Structure 1
Amino acid sequence: MIVTLRPATEADLMPIGALHQRSRVAAYSSFLPAEALADPTPEAMGRYWVERWTWERSDHRMTVAERDGRLVGFSYLGPDDEGDPATGLLNAIHLEPDERGRGTGRALIVDALDAMRARGWSRAVLWVLAQNTPARAFYAHGGWTPTGTQRDEHIGVALVPQLRYAREV
């Protein structure tokens, strides 16, 4: 019944990849074509996290959320991608689709902000898909605001605009 948070382990990375893919499909299918979300497969997404964690584990932090011993979400944070030493970047936060609205995302955000504060960062940033209205509302409710910076990134075959959000830690 209660969500618990803990540091991710290497054994979590393949299941995190599968969760990440399910989360993306559920969150983005209303505005991205199916072919954009068909790749990577859950297994390929797991291999992506195994590879990424190999290179970034020294300065990044991954947290998993579990409910009744079942992986239901994760967050991933690290240094700012624009090199500001006072800023941390929330690289990812994803939930199982049936976990939305149950407080798990909020628990992961609070944990991530606490971790950033402990690292001495005074500002947090993230990138959110411009068309992901529910995520943008979630972040706005948590005190995040758009910075006015935008970038375009590919998700599969689709070129997708992303907005940068920030808040004080």
Structure 2
Amino acid sequence: MMRIRAMTEADAAVVSAIRIGGWRSAYVGMVPQDYLDAMDPVEETKRRREWFVQSAGRVHNLVAEEADGAGAGTVVGWASFGPYRGEETEAATGELYALYVRPERIGTGVGRLLTAEVIRRSAELGRSRLALWVLTGNARARRFYAAAGFSPDGATATESYDGTPVEEMRYIRGLG
């Protein structure tokens, strides 16, 4: 059984491991391998904890937790969302900042559950649209987001990883 709950600071290490695993699985050939190999779980956990505390109240973090039968659970996915960053597209636009699932759990519905909950909670917060950025070369993620009702709106941006430019596309979905 899967449940979606609010992330706590105690989840920072497992969320960091999921994020790093997601990068190392999804971005091979898109982001320099040296960059992926250098991702440090200890440093990532430290950054995740600091970010969690600093962004409290304006950023929402959810985890997907799979019950293990003994009442405890194993976190298998993470999503982060809040107000749109960058240039304002519309006052009521929110943004899905991150969505990661343990690589061995991709295709099992965890990402769909997290996305549906982000959409539901964003609408409850009064958002009329939800935006996200996805690597242009990440065809699997682009198909996933299209299936969830997101469409590219033509906006692009370029991030640099170890000096290598990587293009991202913005996807938008109405929530009304």
When normalised by structure 1's length, the TM-score is: 0.94
Structure 2 distance, partners of 1:115, 1:76, is 11
Gaps of 5+ in 2: none
Q: C-alpha separation between the residues in 2 aligned to 1:40 and 1:33?
A: 11
Is residue 126 of structure 1 aligned with residue 125 of structure 2?
Answer: no
Give yes or no for contact 2:32–2:161 (8 Å, CA) kept in 1: no
Deviations 1:103-140 (A, max 9, x none): 00000000000110010000000000011000000001
Contact 1:36 1:157 in 2 (8 A): no
Q: How far, CA to CA, are the matches of 1:123 and 1:45 in structure 2?
A: 30
Unaligned residue ranges in structure 1 (runs of 5+): none
Q: Percent identity?
A: 32
Larger radius of gyration between Structure 1 and Structure 2 = 2
Cα gap change, 1:43/1:121 in structure 2, threshold over 3 Å: closer, same or farther? same
Cα distance in 1 between the residues matched to 2:123 and 2:74: 28
Q: Tell me if 1:105 matches 2:111.
A: yes
- Computed over aligned residues only, the root mean square deviation of the Cα atoms, in angstroms, reads 1.3
Q: Which amino acid aligns with 2:166?
A: V
The one of 71, 85, 95 equivalent to 2:75 is 71
Q: For 2:44 and 2:29, how far apart are their aligned partners in 1?
A: 21
Give the structure 2 partner of residue 94 of structure 1. Answer: 100
| CA distance 1:114–1:4, change in 2 (3 Å) | same
How far residue 159 of structure 1 moved from its aligned partner, in angstroms, is 2.1
With normalisation by structure 2, the TM-score equals 0.91
Count of residue pairs the alignment pairs up: 168
Q: Secondary structure at the match of 1:92?
A: strand
